[in-house]
Amino acid sequence: MTDTIYALSTAPGRAGVAVVRVSGPKSADAVAALTGREPPQPRQAVLRRFRDPAGGAIDAGILLWFLSPESFTGEDVAEFHVHGGRAIVEAMLAALARVPGLRLAEPGEFTRRAVEHGKFDLTAAEGLGDLIAAETDAQRRQALRQYDGALADLYEGWRAQLIAQAAWVEASIDFSDEELPDDVFAKARAAIGSIAGEIARHLDDGGRGEIIREGLRIALIGPPNAGKSSLLNALARRDVAIVSEIPGTTRDVIEVKLDLGGYPVVVADTAGLRETGDAIEVEGVRRALDRARAAELVVLVLDGQSGTRPVLAPDVETKLCLTVWNKRDLARHAARDGEINLSAKTGEGVDAFVTALTVRVGTLADMQSESPPLTRARHREALLEAKVALLRALAVPDDQPELMAEDVRLSLRALGRITGHVDVEELLDVIFRDFCIGK
Ligand SMILES: Nc1nc2c(ncn2[C@@H]2O[C@H](COP(=O)(O)OP(=O)(O)OP(=O)(O)O)[C@@H](O)[C@H]2O)c(=O)[nH]1
Ligand SMILES: [Mg+2]
């Protein structure tokens, strides 16, 4: 029999309310032990006094009862909403520990049970994790979409189409041409080709989903003393990096996480680019260039007073999204179209810079896009595997349908791994059913 588990579901510490959740077949026992009564009507909040079965009142609060399968985990679930004090929560957990058959949940165990009971798939579970971790609006929207099943629908949709095609390929192994409709094999091949194309396009989305999950990396680069550290401080609205009139002040890469119009970004200040004999500064310049190459976007910060622009390496130049001329309070540079004059010191022009940067970040992240983006390396790996298997299947000659069937099956497995629905039994059942319809 499954264990009955319990845990504090809200963040630990002082709060108005804390929720202690119990899930499993003995949840009703837990309610009886702590309230001395039967569970109330499902999904109806009731006020109850909670006490320790070993004696003594703990608190008064709200009790919610969910009857299997209509609960988060799919099991019987009790929720105790108590006042959010440390001692109250401790006493509730101690009281539950005394109920026979109950144990403390492991991290993620409630969600895992929800997946096991088919409440949602793995991608939705991951979406839920991301939703709880979301710090910006774009992250929240993306996570909610995934929790709502957008990725599961996409991947399961491909899987369903492939299962249908696999059935036709299998049929062409076992039956002669006369017994099958015309062009079965050619049609299956075309359909498999179009799914492979869709997967390839999905993979080739510039990593926008991962960017939103993990934050888009922006590197501030430029010559020494141009004001990169000053600009980072202006963006962060605090003194993160050391600013001085001595060229070559910044050596290490300094990163600040920011919310740019709802998009999560990590802005990096770097060492000023120049030829130098100072070994530490040389290392700083190397790190600056590495950071620029690793970034999605590069901002070139120049001194408007000097008006000079360094030549960038081609691989850095391609990442360049904005050029800013700093020290506008001292000199206004005749900027080219799209370039920005600003003063990191007075703040003049910084808002315009932030707006321009936000537009570029938004374009990269492209939240308006119709199809949901790939969000995790785990999905990327499995999709790549599925794509490679499908491309192999397409290369199989017409007279070897067994080989094609095998590759389609491998791609199905890879797709099924993403949602957690790898199930050969199911696959065989469906193939058989589809096959009968086909005949
Ligand atoms: N007048 C004026 N001075 C500025 C402005 N921005 C930066 N400075 C000054 O320029 C000098 C260099 O600024 P930093 O921000 O340290 O320049 P940096 O690009 O980080 O320099 P390195 O770390 O050496 O590469 C400092 O003395 C700043 O006070 C500005 O907008 N106007
Ligand atoms: Mg600096």
CA 215 / ligand 1 centre spacing (Å) = 27
- Ligand lying nearest the CA atom of residue 244: 1
CA 130 / ligand 1 centre spacing (Å) = 38
Asked if 369 and 353 touch (Cβ cutoff 8 Å), the reply is: no
CA 269 / ligand 1 centre spacing (Å) = 12
SS3 content of the chain, % helix, strand, coil (to 5): 45, 20, 35
- Ligand lying nearest the CA atom of residue 248: 1
69-123 tens-digit pLDDT: 999 999 999 999 999 999 999 999 999 999 999 999 988 889 889 988 989 888 9
Tell me the mean pLDDT in the region 204-213: 86
CA 216 / ligand 2 centre spacing (Å) = 21
Query: CA 281 to CA 275: how far, in whole Å?
Result: 9
- Given this model, what pLDDT does residue 435 score? 33
209-244 tens-digit pLDDT: 888 888 999 999 999 999 999 999 999 999 999 999
369 vs 187, residue with greater confidence: 187
- Given this model, what pLDDT does residue 297 score? 95
406-436 tens-digit pLDDT: 999 999 999 998 998 775 444 334 433 433 3
Query: CA 163 to CA 430: how far, in whole Å?
Result: 7
Compute, in degrees rounded to 10, the torsion defined by CA atoms 58, 59, 61, 63: 10
CB proximity list for 220: less than 8 A, separation 6 or greater: 228, 231, 232, 267, 268, 269, 270, 299, 301
Which residue's entry shows tokens 């019987």?
A: 76
**Sheet with 4-8: strands ordered across:** 46-51, 57-66, 77-84, 15-23, 4-8, 102-104
CA 227 / ligand 2 centre spacing (Å) = 7
Distinct helix (H) and strand (E) counts, the chain: 15, 12
Kindly report the pTM of this predicted structure: 0.80
- Ligand lying nearest the CA atom of residue 225: 1
DSSP state of 310: P
Atom of ligand 1 nearest to the CA of 233: 15
* Residues within a 6 A CB radius of ligand 1: 224-230, 243-245, 247-250, 271-272, 326-327, 329-330, 343-345
Return the SS3 of 273: coil
75 vs 183, residue with greater confidence: 75
Number of Cβ within 10 Å of residue 151's Cβ equals 28
Compute, in degrees rounded to 10, the torsion defined by CA atoms 193, 198, 200, 206: 170
37-67 tens-digit pLDDT: 999 999 999 999 999 999 899 999 999 999 9
Which residue's entry shows tokens 């999709």?
A: 383
- Given this model, what pLDDT does residue 169 score? 86
Return the SS3 of 35: helix
291-322 tens-digit pLDDT: 999 999 999 999 999 989 999 999 999 999 99
- Ligand lying nearest the CA atom of residue 231: 1
349-393 tens-digit pLDDT: 999 999 999 999 988 876 556 778 899 888 999 999 999 999 999
CA 289 / ligand 2 centre spacing (Å) = 14
Query: CA 218 to CA 211: how far, in whole Å?
Result: 11
Q: Which of 220, 221, 225 to mutate to test the pocket of ligand 1 (most atoms within 8 A of CB)?
A: 225
Question: Which element (helix H / strand E) includes 376?
Answer: none
- Given this model, what pLDDT does residue 438 score? 29
